[in-house]
Structure 1
């Protein structure tokens, strides 16, 4: 009997983790405009939800099933957000203000494949270099590291654009042409290191 109760708890827990993870991913895909993929995921999501809820409602006298349902829901939120981080869908826009307009900031970023629009600005303490940088979300952390290497005191604000249209850089990203040089360099470095060993 105890074995059966543990199996039921494990099933309810697993079902709810999967359901909430799918729900989180569906919501993110909907917000990103991928409605057909989101619709496909929602069919699996609602089926899993109905089965899980049915198991709990059929056994309301067992408090451990309700606890498993609640714990599975909480874990599902964490798992769903981790999956979304790994998928890193969409783009991020980063506004950077450097206190040293003399730094070759834009050239260094463009050499690494980032789309940069820059202009000179004036702050409370003098001239500044302002930049707007567009990058796929999967390169966001790498971009922050690059900015800190160039100017550790740079002021950074990031946000996700709702819509992107036109422009040279977006076309290049969609064709998969950007950031290939960086991958080639990394492969060459690894090959050279292996040859030395």
Structure 2
């Protein structure tokens, strides 16, 4: 019995993953309003019946995609942080890593969910706590990779200002992507951060 159940569980897991990945792709390409369960099942190569069995409504599907996005975003950031260089240009590398994260397709999909959740109480109830968790984890990771001491006055606010800056630049990039402008701003902010963090140490 176990020998037949495990492959079925694996197939089910793979099918759910395809559905969630297709949902994220469609959120990026078509937005929340343009994403439908029919399009998702077609994109994932999953029968409509199988998709409805696991996710009976669009909100069920999107809420599962929110959880999936949370895991993907955390894994992407952790992997990028592990690859950061040391040395005098580390702060610039940290900011470019964050800038890349907040202009990635995963961020764009998350943004679609934020906008939709503003007027959908059910979606908001699922999105808000997950976003708070992602925010805490991203803040903690940023503190770690910058080597910032938040027990010093003003350091926590500097870290949060950094995250607000890169998030804002990511939001702007959804309208018009000006990578060279973003790079100049982040390089200048790196100088400010290096100075202020040294003063606080």
Higher strand share: 1
Task: Provide the TM-score with structure 2 as the length reference.
Answer: 0.34
Higher helix share: 2
Task: Provide the TM-score with structure 1 as the length reference.
Answer: 0.35
